[in-house]
C-alpha cells in the first residue's frame, strides 16, 4: 500500500499549485482521503477531507474558498488545487487515506488515517 504525493514547489504569493496523490497496490475509491500539512516547528494539521462514499468534503476555514479537493477514481488519484496561496501556506503537504469510506469525525485530527504519502514541500515566497 503506497501513496505518492507530488506537485509541490516554490510559488509567489497569490499563485497556484496542484498537488497529486497517487495510490498504488490498492483502490483509492474505497477510502476517504485527507490532505494535511505541517509547517516548520508546528504540528500536522488537517486541511481538507473528502468522503469516498458520497463525495462530501470537509474544509478547514483557513483554506475554504481557496483550495479544492477532488478525486479521479479511474486514475486512482486525488488532487488538491491550491489558489491564492499565502506565506502561511508554506508547509509539507501530505495525503492520507482513512480506514473507512468517510472522513472520520476526528478530522482535522490525524486519527483514523492509516496510510500516508511521503509529503511534498510547498513554499510560498516572494
Q: How far apart are CA 84 and CA 25, in angstroms?
A: 34
H helix and E strand count, the chain: 0, 11
Parts of the chain with a pLDDT under 70:
1
pLDDT at 104: 96
Q: What is the CA 82 to chain-centroid distance, rounded?
A: 10
Three-state secondary structure call for residue 29 = helix
Q: Phi and psi (nearest 5°) for 51? A: -70, 150
Q: How far apart are CA 103 and CA 50, in angstroms?
A: 6
Beta carbons within 8 Å of 42's beta carbon, 6+ residues apart: 91
Residues 36-70: tens digit of each pLDDT: 999 999 999 999 999 998 999 999 999 999 999 99
Three-state secondary structure call for residue 78 = strand
Q: Phi and psi (nearest 5°) for 33? A: -120, 135
pLDDT at 25: 87
Which cell goes with 121? 514541500
- Element spanning 21, H or E: strand 17-24
Q: What is the CA 114 to chain-centroid distance, rounded?
A: 14
Amino acid at each position: 500500500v503506497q501513496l505518492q504525493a507530488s506537485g509541490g514547489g516554490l510559488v509567489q504569493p497569490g499563485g497556484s499549485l496542484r498537488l497529486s496523490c497517487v495510490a498504488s497496490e490498492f483502490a483509492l475509491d474505497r477510502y476517504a482521503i485527507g490532505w494535511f500539512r505541517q509547517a516548520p516547528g508546528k504540528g500536522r494539521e488537517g486541511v481538507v477531507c473528502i468522503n469516498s462514499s458520497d463525495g462530501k468534503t470537509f474544509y478547514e476555514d483557513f483554506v475554504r474558498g481557496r483550495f479544492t479537493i477532488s478525486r479521479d477514481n479511474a486514475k486512482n488519484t486525488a488532487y488538491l488545487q491550491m489558489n491564492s496561496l499565502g506565506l502561511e501556506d508554506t508547509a509539507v503537504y501530505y495525503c492520507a487515506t482513512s480506514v473507512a469510506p468517510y472522513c472520520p469525525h476526528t478530522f482535522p485530527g490525524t486519527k483514523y488515517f492509516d496510510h500516508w504519502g511521503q509529503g511534498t514541500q510547498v513554499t510560498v515566497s516572494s
